[in-house]
Amino acid sequence: MSPAFEEVRLRLPHIELAAHLYGPADGVPVIALHGWLDNAASFARLAPKLPGLRIVALDFAGHGHSDHRPAGAGYAIWEYVHDVLQVAEQFGWQRFSLLGHSMGAIVSVLLAGALPERVARLALIDGLIPYTGEAEDAPQRLGEALKAQMALAGKRKPVYAEFSRAVEARMRGVGAVSREAAELLAQRGLMPVPGGYTWRTDSRLTLPSPLRLTQAHAMAFVQRLQCPVDLVLAEQGMLAAQPRFAELLDGRPITLNRLPGGHHLHLDDEVGAQLVADCFKAFLRSP
């Protein structure tokens, strides 16, 4: 598969991010957001199947070739929302659509709920709201997060003697993927080190969240959505397994598309990518 993208670096006021650019410069503006521990290669199969769009597929901060956040900073999900807004500002896009997978879908919903005047359309893949927590659990969660943060300095990333071993590890990781998908993610996500390869991702990404939104917080963002929303639900994915998932869609103006495949159905193979593209290509080009 020959890539049809341009590799760019975006110097934002607070951080430098990497991205892949797809499509014509005058295409419909879309920012594509990948899932946790993935990178811009998540859209390597899907983006070329969405003609007429100017797609900026980001590496989130701490992922892929983007900068890590500075020492002392964290990776709260709302910080990604700020990053995406700054990317839109860099391109001069006052209004744009979002194409998000998993965590990227969650970031998309938060931004569209917070600033509905900026987001034209949401195309979501197997993601909608973050894992939530209730008030009574907050002290224990913060304590566990602080302990994990203090212990992080003594931990080391895994080193794989061969590229293929890293690919196999990614196949078995969170949101298991096909070998081809794992290879695409690994090609962008690995870096050489003494003894083999390790992941570029910031180790702080694996820390537990010190604070989670409550269910009421999360639903407030969904309720405030004003733009059209098209959601792809993978039948063997992660979203369908969330408790009370049906309640999230009840009475909401969200178009639901159930498709066969796993959590990374848009990347696992060409068939899945085409099915997702068929859901989104006319939707994202609509005025």
Catalytic residues: 102
Q: Long-range pairs for 1-9 at CB < 8 Å and ≥24 separation? A: 1/44, 1/45, 3/44, 4/48, 5/47, 5/57, 9/65
Kindly tell me the burial class for residue 161, based on how many C-beta atoms sit within 10 Å of its own C-beta (0-12, 13-18, 19 or more): exposed
Distances (CA, A) of 256 to 34, 231, 276: 20, 5, 12
Kindly tell me the burial class for residue 148, based on how many C-beta atoms sit within 10 Å of its own C-beta (0-12, 13-18, 19 or more): middle
Q: Distance between CA atoms of 227 and 30, rounded to whole angstroms?
A: 14
**Contact 179/169 with Cβ under 8 angstroms?**
no
- Which amino acid would we find at residue 195? G
**Contact 263/234 with Cβ under 8 angstroms?**
yes
Dihedral Cα 61, 62, 67, 70, nearest 10 deg: 100
Q: Distance between CA atoms of 59 and 16, rounded to whole angstroms?
A: 10
Residue that the structure tokens 């811009």 belong to: 40
Show the tokens assigned to 173: 């990781």
Kindly tell me the burial class for residue 243, based on how many C-beta atoms sit within 10 Å of its own C-beta (0-12, 13-18, 19 or more): exposed
